[in-house]
Amino acid sequence: MFDLERWQEIFDTIRKNKLRTFLTGLSVASGIFILVILLGFGQGMQNGVAKEFSEDASNRIIVWTRTTTKEYKGLNPGRRIQLRNENNEYVQEQFKEDIARKSAIYRVGGSTVVFENENLGYSVQGISPGFQFIENQFISSGRYINELDEKEAKKVAIIGRKIAREIGKSYEEIVDNYLDISGIRFKIVGVYTDGGGDREEDRIFIPITTAQRVFNGADKVNNLTFTLSPSENFEASVEQSKIFTNNLKNYLKEAHMVSPEDNSAINAFNTLEESKRYFGLIGNIKFFFWFVGICTIIAGVVGVSNIMLIVVKERTKEIGIRKALGAKPWAIIGMILHESIFITAISGFTGLIFSMGLLELIGPHVEVDYVVNPSVNFSVAMSTVILLIISGAIAGFFPAYRAANIHTIEALRDE
Amino acid sequence: MIEIKDLHKSYKMGSNSLHVLKGINFSVEEGELVAIMGSSGSGKSTLLNILGMLDVANSGEYNLDGVPIKNLNETKAAKYRNKFLGFVFQSFNLINYKSALENVALPLYYQRIPRKERLERALKYLEQVGLKEWATHLPSELSGGQKQRVAIARAMASEPKVLLADEPTGALDSVTSYEVMDLIQKINDQGNTILVVTHEDDIAHMCKRIVHLKDGVIVEDKKVKQVRASEYV
Ligand SMILES: Nc1ncnc2c1ncn2[C@@H]1O[C@H](COP(=O)(O)OP(=O)(O)OP(=O)(O)O)[C@@H](O)[C@H]1O
Ligand SMILES: [Mg+2]
């Protein structure tokens, strides 16, 4: 490696065989280039899928009720089940350990919403501050509904970005102005955005306490929503949320005298179990791209080996001459390997730099469905280049070894 | 300088073998200029290749400058070739992407002589063969005679004990052949031992001794009065 004379000899050879060197280098560089771009888009797709399903906090649980379908303890089927504040309070107390965020929902039915004489046909829901995290919402302007609003049942509201857009005014003109909900004035304190996009930004939220008090809700609740505290891993989280959901349903069935066999009256949707499917999908995509990547590497290795084979074959006569002049077999092998490692290394890194550069440049701007910010892990790309160099060297070794051991006379005869 | 006793060589050709050298006995003193003649297929090249350690005999003894040459592995043979022998081939065997100077310097690379010194020494030998001005030219830019003179300079650059030339004039016209022989004679005049394989009588008579091979044995071995090639140039 540190034999200066050999470096000079190799540079001579490279300088005087520009085309051969260029072609060898080009195939290695383009191999790496393609591989990195491929891995980049694999990552991009993974990012895209992850984003697509990151709309809501992924361990969200939502509870709703319908009518009973089974007779139980002398009660007829077809009875409407109505959740109440006490149910909510009990659950929050009972499952304190498991719950991270919580919010009950009370839907204000048949309300009319008016902003500056304009009728807005949007639904109004009463919530708690925890709802922001359960729905994965962000604040564009102003603030979210807070604990104090809820505690004092203030007449405040937040509206979705989509609603703000339809009003057609700047956030400054909207926030801190007033809104009429069924004739009652509410102060708009903020505009929210939702990870789920437009279709989840068309609701107006007010504190649940206000909703119940002002719109005759008494202690009625439509839904209970929660997110759970994270467990050490995904599987454990799934298990935890399953148990939680079951316990929750059992309690609610008992409290509302619903038959344990009634699967319709009390419902709970557990997004974590749902997201398990998507995580599986992401896993498959990852696997697919690794598979393609590995195939590309193998193709690259085969390509490099082939080039080495051809290069050595082409140089058989030269090798014979060198041997006649006193080159020892290992000097021949060393020379060929040294040269091939040098060329694959230089061109491999060139391909790496170009492809990473391209990804850096266009990656952040790529945002079509399911492909977001294609990028590649530098150390993965680096190891690939090194793997290619090593395999190129190994692949080059055998023809070099054979060439170095061809009978000199035979090698000289080669044309 | 060279001493061989009862040298045998046969080539395996499938199931039967071809007996090419059938007991060669022959010695060469230092400073001799020997022509090896014989019809095509008589084993001249085979003999020269064995002397050059490019090939090995099946049996017999070979001493080069008092060193017994036997049981050589590739590495050792390479070392001896580099130290003791210079080769000149009919087809020149220059490396086509290297300049004349670099070709001449190549054996010195394998003697691990530093680049600068290598090129200086190579230039000296190129000057001796009258091609100093052509030092930077590629072989493809040289005539046949010039190529062979570069090859001779290369063979001489490592200052070998013996120069082995297999039909050095085989690919050249007669005028160029004489120029090459003139060069070989001059090198011999400096005391170098040289063996030349040739088909041509006039070339053979420019040596000091002619050895005739026929059917794998030496049938004639005589000293001759040397004809100076310079008379024809
Ligand atoms: N590697 C080999 N394998 C098999 N047979 C060989 C081999 N090399 C030479 N021969 C045979 O050995 C015989 C002698 O060959 P050699 O090359 O020594 O002849 P030569 O005297 O140099 O002939 P020419 O004047 O044509 O060069 C020939 O019959 C040739 O076919
Ligand atoms: Mg011959």
Q: What is the pLDDT of residue A316?
A: 87
Q: Which residue has the higher pLDDT, A14 or A152?
A: A152
Residues of A whose CB is below 8 A from B167? none
Q: Which residue has the higher pLDDT, A90 or A16?
A: A90
Task: Find the residue in B nearest to A9 (Cα).
Answer: B109
What does A194-227 look like in DSSP terms, one character per residue?
ETT-GGGS-EEEEEHHHHHHHTT-TTEESEEEEE
Query: Span A367-393, mean pLDDT?
Result: 78
Residue with tokens 């003109």: A173
Residue B7 token pair: 């040298």
pLDDT digits (tens, 9 = 90+) for A261-287: 888 889 888 877 666 666 677 677 778
- The residue contributing the CA closest to ligand 1 atom 31 is B41
- CB-defined site of ligand 1, < 6 Å: B 11, 13, 18, 20, 38, 40-46
A376 and A321, same structural domain?
A: yes
The pLDDT of residue A55 is 46
Q: How far is CA B42 from the centre of its chain?
A: 18
Q: Which is more confident, A371 or A13? A: A13
Q: Are B197 and B36 in contact (CB under 8 A)?
A: yes
Statement to judge: residues A78 and A128 lie in one domain: no
pTM above 0.80? no
Q: Are B194 and B156 in contact (CB under 8 A)?
A: no
- Say which of A12, A323, A407 has its CB closest to residue B78: A323
Q: Could you tell me if B195 and B163 are in contact, meaning their C-beta atoms sit under 8 angstroms apart?
A: yes
Residue nearest to atom 3 of ligand 1 (CA): B11
Shared-domain flag, residues A91 and A234: yes
B81:A325 CB<8 A: yes
How many structural domains are present in chain A? 3
- For residue A325, the enclosing domain spans 4-52+277-413
Query: What atom in ligand 1 is closest to the CA of residue A410?
Result: 1
Over residues A76-91, the mean pLDDT reads 90
Judge if A401 and A302 occupy the same domain. Answer: yes
Domain assignment present for A58: no
Tell me the per-residue pLDDT of A40-74, one tens digit each, with 9 for 90 and over. 877 777 777 666 655 444 678 899 999 999 888 88
Residue A257 has pLDDT above 80, yes or no: yes
pLDDT confidence of residue A40: 82
pLDDT at A271: 77
Instruction: Give the residue on B whose Cα is nearest the Cα of A320.
Output: B93
Q: Which of A5, A329, A412 is nearest residue B74 as measured by Cβ atoms? A: A329
Round to whole Å and give the CA distance between B229 and B183: 9
Query: Does A408 lie in the same domain as A283?
Result: yes
CA–CA separation, A63 and A267 (whole Å) = 6
Residue A221 has pLDDT above 90, yes or no: yes
Cα nearest neighbour of B154 on chain A? A325
Give mean pLDDT, residues A164-182. Answer: 89
Q: How would CATH label the architecture of B29-58+74-231? A: 3-Layer(aba) Sandwich (3.40)
* Cα four-point dihedral sign A146, A147, A151, A152: negative
- Chain A residues with CB-CB distance to B158 below 8 A: 325-326
Is it the case that residue A16 has pLDDT exceeding 60?
yes
Mutate to test the interface with B, among A325, A328, A330, A335 (most CBs of B within 10 A): A325
Q: Which of B18, B56, B167 to mutate to test the pocket of ligand 1 (most atoms within 8 A of CB)?
A: B18
What's the sign of the alpha-carbon dihedral B72, B75, B78, B82? Answer: negative
Residues A36 and A111 in one domain: no
* Residue in chain B lying closest to A406 (CA): B74
- What pLDDT shows up at residue A369? 65
- B88-103 CB burial, b ≥16 within 10 A, e <16: bbbbbbbbebbbbbbb
Same domain? For A397 and A321 the reply is yes
Choice between A205 and A365, residue whose per-residue pLDDT is larger: A205
Question: Which band of pLDDT confidence, cut at 50, 70 and 90, is reported for residue A17?
Answer: confident
Lowest mean pLDDT among A55-69, B7-21, B81-95: A55-69
Nearest CA to ligand 1 atom 1: B11
Question: Do residue A152 and residue A252 come from a single domain?
Answer: no
Note whether A5 contacts B158, CB cutoff 8 Å: no
Higher-scoring residue by pLDDT: B146, A48: B146
A250 and A189 in a common domain:
no
pLDDT at A237 over 60: yes
CA distance B52 to B56: 9
| Average of per-residue pLDDT across A405-411 | 86
Claim to verify: residue A214 and residue A145 sit in the same structural domain: yes
ipTM: 0.92
* Mean pLDDT rounded to a whole number for chain A: 84
Question: What's the gap between Cα B20 and its chain centre?
Answer: 20
Partners of A19 on chain B (C-beta within 8 Å) are: none
Full DSSP string of B97-118: TS-HHHHHHHHHHTTT--HHHH
Q: Whose CA is nearest to atom 28 of ligand 1?
A: B41
Question: What band does A106 get if pLDDT is binned at 50, 70 and 90?
Answer: very high
Tell me, in angstroms, the distance from the centre of ligand 1 to residue B110's CA.
Answer: 29
Domain assignment of residue A47, yes or no:
yes
Judge if A296 and A402 occupy the same domain.
yes
Domain membership flag for residue A158:
yes
Q: What is the pLDDT of residue A56?
A: 45
Would you place residue A143 in the very low, low, confident or very high pLDDT band (cuts 50, 70, 90)?
very high
Residues A78 and A162 both lie in one domain: no
- pLDDT, position A278: 67
Q: How far apart are the first and last CA of chain A?
A: 31
